[in-house]
Amino acid sequence: MKTKKVVLALSALMLTLSFTFTSCKKNREFKKENGQASADSRRAQGENDNAVSDINTAIADQPLMSGRTNGANTVQGVLGNVCGMTVDATQASSGILYLNFDGTTCNNRTRTGTIKLTIIDYATGKRWKDAGCVMQVDYFLYKVTRASDGKSVRLEGTQYLTNVSGGTWFDLLFLGQPNLVSTVTGTNLSVNFDNASTAVYNINRKFTYTWASSILTCVGEGIGSNNGLSNLENYGTTRDGDPFTSQVVTPVVWNTTCGAWAPIQGEVDIKVDTKDFKLNCLFGVNTSGNPVTVGSNSCPYGWKVTCKYKNKTRTLTLGYW
């Protein structure tokens, strides 16, 4: 009987110690939280958004692939030529376009690599201006490096860009189309950070573009789902191999004044499975973490990360890169 009591007491002690150790470990993780998962996701998605923007610019200027038959105006002439990008249209008659990046530094960003565009069912008459047209987007060592400190993000893999509304940026900029709507989806996009760690992302977003006062504005929503969650803009594994989700709370908005990598508003919740707290990310804030109103000559500093564990709350303010 006495032996049984000793065993029970030891078991209870072990459970208590285990619980205490686990609780202390989670508390330490909370204290050490640096918002890395949010920073990585923001960097990758910002550069992905920017690439999609360049894709729209390039495809609208290719009549064979866009299906445009009227007008001599060029989209690049309005938005400005895409810095450091050359277009190889030698296979445009087959529905294929290559965007090549030569390493020129623009806006503190240096881009190298290639993006291949292929219109699905081009041979049967599909053109980018058609509602429902799907374009395969292949990234080949597409790398963006921040010139100021050498930090980089490299995308490799395949996505699918779908023209939901129909029309091209030519129709938006010159013919008065009120908006253009498209989606970008794809699985297992390899995202390498700083030539070291690699994450695997499944980016699923809906874009609504508008044009007013010579400013292009994009509203991004999450359309993905995983493990019972919806409105996901991204999910997959972090650079450390941990499963995560990024769920849109309010749409993420960027414009050509500040760039795709610097949203002016929006909110997402990021949850890493190995952590007992989520990261709430509020975009478009100043260095103090307060929302800002963007003017013609001003852009936000970054985003505010808020995380809560039990009765504790931590906030971080991170700058766009």
Q: Which helix (H) or strand (E) holds 197?
A: strand 197-203
pTM recorded for the entire structure? 0.88
| Average pLDDT rounded to a whole number, residues 67-96 | 87
Residue 130 has phi, psi (to 5 degrees) of -75, 130
If pLDDT is split at 50, 70 and 90, which confidence band does 2 have?
low
pLDDT in tens, 106-148: 989 999 999 999 999 999 999 999 999 999 999 999 999 999 9
pLDDT, position 22: 44
pLDDT in tens, 251-265: 999 999 999 999 999
If pLDDT is split at 50, 70 and 90, which confidence band does 5 have?
low
pLDDT, position 119: 98
If pLDDT is split at 50, 70 and 90, which confidence band does 31 have?
low
Q: Is the confidence at residue 281, as pLDDT, over 70?
A: yes
Give, in order, the Cα–Cα distances in Å from 84 to each of 17, 103, 106, 110: 59, 6, 8, 8
pLDDT, position 109: 92
Q: 313: which 2 tokens?
A: 């709350």
Higher pLDDT, 294 or 86: 86
* CB contact set of 256 (below 8 Å; sequence gap of 6+): 79, 215, 216, 217
